[in-house]
Amino acid sequence: MSEITIRPPDLADLKILSQLYELIKKELAGLIRLSSLSPDADFEKWISACLRGGNNKFFLAQKDQEPIGFIQLNIYRGSRLEPLALSPEERKWGRFNFAQLPLKIMVKIFRLAKKLFQTPNIYTEKRFGYIANIYVKPEFRNQGVATKLVNHSILWFQTQGIEEITLNALSNNQAGLNFWQK
């Protein structure tokens, strides 16, 4: 019996992760309305930005060198996504692309906007982890792959000083609910 391995992906894995995201998109299409997801979403470009230092951390599951699943993680501070680093894709705000501005100017604009539009923070500043996505190919489900991905993620969160992890599950995704309720 071959072993399931978990590892962080690198830029060579862009196509693999992109294909896995396409599988999620197809699978979830019957469960939720994906109107906010562009029909021509460039997952490869987005994942590239994430891997180069965005707000996301990924782990890839493999069996016999075949990619069979992944997990996507974030860290939040209070109600805000804590940047692991600022990627060009995350510099976009509204219809204006801040990525075209020099970083120094962009930082000044965001600081000014924060002062002008500051609302009282009703959340604590406690940091917590968030499991944004987890996916395992259907033919590899119920073999412990998702559990290994989650366990690996818990260890990673601990190295980041995270003691609390949260997630969301679709109420009509019975397979997902069954997994998380174990």
Domain 4-86+124-180 grouped into CATH 1.20.120.80: no
Percent of residues in the chain assigned helix, strand, coil, to nearest 5: 40, 25, 35
Distance of alpha carbon 104 from alpha carbon 111, whole angstroms: 11
What is the average per-residue pLDDT within 21-34?
A: 74
Q: For the residues of 80-106, what is the DSSP string, one character each?
A: EEPPSS--GGGGEETTEEGGGS-HHHH
Distance of alpha carbon 178 from alpha carbon 169, whole angstroms: 10
Distance of alpha carbon 152 from alpha carbon 44, whole angstroms: 24
Confidence at residue 177, expressed as pLDDT on a 0 to 100 scale = 84
pLDDT in tens, 87-126: 444 444 433 444 455 566 656 666 666 666 665 656 567 7
pLDDT in tens, 132-155: 889 999 999 999 999 999 999 999
- Given a cut of 90, whether residue 68 has pLDDT beyond it is yes
Q: Where are the domains of the chain?
A: 4-86+124-180
DSSP-based three-state secondary structure for 6: strand
- Token reading at 123: 């959340």
In this prediction the pTM is 0.73
Could you give the angle at which helices 14-28 and 43-51 cross, rounded to 10 degrees?
A: 120
